[in-house]
């Protein structure tokens, strides 16, 4: 997770952020939240109704686990950053996505995942800045 602790930059960009998860709170606390005091709302969607309403499907095994980019990413984490990949969630095929909603309720940015990839934090901050000024 590269954006949960980016409160200052997100607020400086004039925006706010929420994170939607479907795993149980206890699993979250043992996983991605174990070293973080979340400063943004963490929304719980255990039946993944919101995931479905936002069009976020499940991937195939090949999309996620046979993608060399996934393994390169994990290797980088291990070798360069000394991090072990976080404990897996209960459905490793569920895809996520990043969206920026403008003050009029319309999407300013839409980036549903197609595999285990996410936009750079800098990209999201730039969209938030532009949305603030729109």
Q: Classify each residue of 3-17 as buried b or exposed e, where b means 16 or more C-beta atoms within 10 Å of its C-beta.
A: bbebeeebeebebeb
Q: Phi/psi of residue 80, each to 5°?
A: -95, -40
Nearer to other proteins, 19 or 74 (CB): 19
Residues comprising the chain, all counted? 134
* C-beta separation of 125 from 114 below 8 A: no
Write each residue from 51 to 70 as x if it is in contact with other proteins (CB under 8 A), else as -, in one continuous string: xxxxxxxx------------
User: Using the rule CB under 8 A, which residue among 37, 47, 62, 84 binds other proteins?
Assistant: 47
Binding positions for other proteins, rule: CB under 8 A: 1, 3, 10, 14-23, 25, 27-28, 30-32, 38, 41-45, 47-58, 86-92, 94-110, 112-113, 116, 124, 127-128, 131-132
């Amino acid at each position: 997770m590269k954006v949960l602790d980016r409160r200052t930059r997100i607020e400086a960009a004039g925006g706010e952020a929420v994170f939607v998860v479907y795993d149980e709170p206890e699993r979250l606390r043992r996983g991605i939240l174990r070293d973080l005091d979340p400063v943004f709302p963490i929304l719980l969607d255990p039946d993944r109704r919101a995931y479905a309403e936002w069009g976020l499907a499940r991937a195939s095994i090949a999309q996620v686990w046979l993608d060399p980019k996934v393994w390169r990413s994990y290797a980088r984490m291990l070798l360069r950053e000394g991090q072990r990949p976080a404990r897996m969630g209960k459905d490793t095929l569920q895809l996520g996505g990043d969206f920026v909603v403008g003050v009029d309720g319309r999407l300013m940015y839409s980036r549903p995942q197609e595999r285990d990839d996410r936009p750079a934090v800098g990209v999201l901050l730039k969209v938030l800045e532009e949305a603030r000024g729109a």
